[in-house]
């Protein structure tokens, strides 16, 4: 199993809520295209950051992972005229 963690920082309150809602609506699409076992979106009260955790099956293909990353990036690029949030990610084999 793999854990794919994406941390999105420097979000204002409206973008934080918008991203959380977008991820909730987009979860079925992500699951249909990628072997996601679990998906969790975590934000701390008062923090301007969002942690996205995706537990992925071992048999995920490179093309599937690239598509997942592309779709997450598209969600983050939905604010074309504003400062982009700071994003970091890591893929851990468990």
Q: pLDDT by residue (tens digit) across 19-56?
A: 889 899 989 988 888 889 999 999 887 788 999 999 99
Give the C-alpha separation, 19 to 8, whole Å: 10
Sign of the alpha-carbon dihedral angle for 13, 16, 20, 23: positive
The pLDDT value given to residue 72: 86
Q: Are the C-beta atoms of 8 and 22 separated by less than 8 Å?
A: no
* DSSP, residue by residue, 48-81: S-EEEEEEE-TT--HHHHHHHHHHHHHHHT--TT
> Token match 């093309």: residue?
63
For residue 19, give the 3-state DSSP assignment: helix
Confidence (pTM): 0.84
């Amino acid at each position: 199993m793999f854990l794919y963690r994406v941390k999105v920082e420097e979000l204002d309150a409206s973008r934080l809520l918008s991203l959380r809602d977008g991820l909730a609506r987009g979860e079925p699409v992500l699951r249909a295209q990628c072997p996601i076992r679990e998906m969790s979106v975590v934000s701390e009260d008062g923090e301007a950051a969002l942690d996205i955790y995706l537990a992925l099956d071992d048999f995920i293909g490179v093309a599937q992972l690239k598509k997942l990353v592309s779709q997450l990036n598209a969600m983050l690029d939905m604010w074309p005229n504003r400062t982009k949030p700071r994003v970091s990610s890591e893929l851990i084999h468990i």
